[in-house]
Amino acid sequence: MSLLPESSPVCQLLRRVNRLYALDLHTYHDLYVWSCSHLHLFWGVVWDQTNITGQKGLHVIDPSALPAQNPTW
């Protein structure tokens, strides 16, 4: 798979995830696979990276809850 353009928001997010969690992800697919098994971490980083207006609270997604018990988007 090809590398993402360095200046793209997805590449910036990938670098931030790598830095925060000591990972070595290189492609969009790598980020996708990681995000599927770490939903709560991924969406927390997305929240911080995109400057969402609102209150994050203690978590964005509760990994122990059923999908319907998490907030609607």
The upper half-sphere exposure of residue 16, i.e. CA atoms within 13 Å in the direction of its Cβ, equals 18
Tell me how far apart the alpha carbons of residues 27 and 24 are, in angstroms, rounded to a whole number.
Answer: 10
pTM exceeds 0.85 for this model: no
2-51 tens-digit pLDDT:
556 778 899 999 999 999 999 999 999 999 999 988 988 998 899 889 98
Q: What is the pLDDT of residues 43-73, one digit of tens each?
A: 889 988 998 888 877 767 777 877 777 666 5
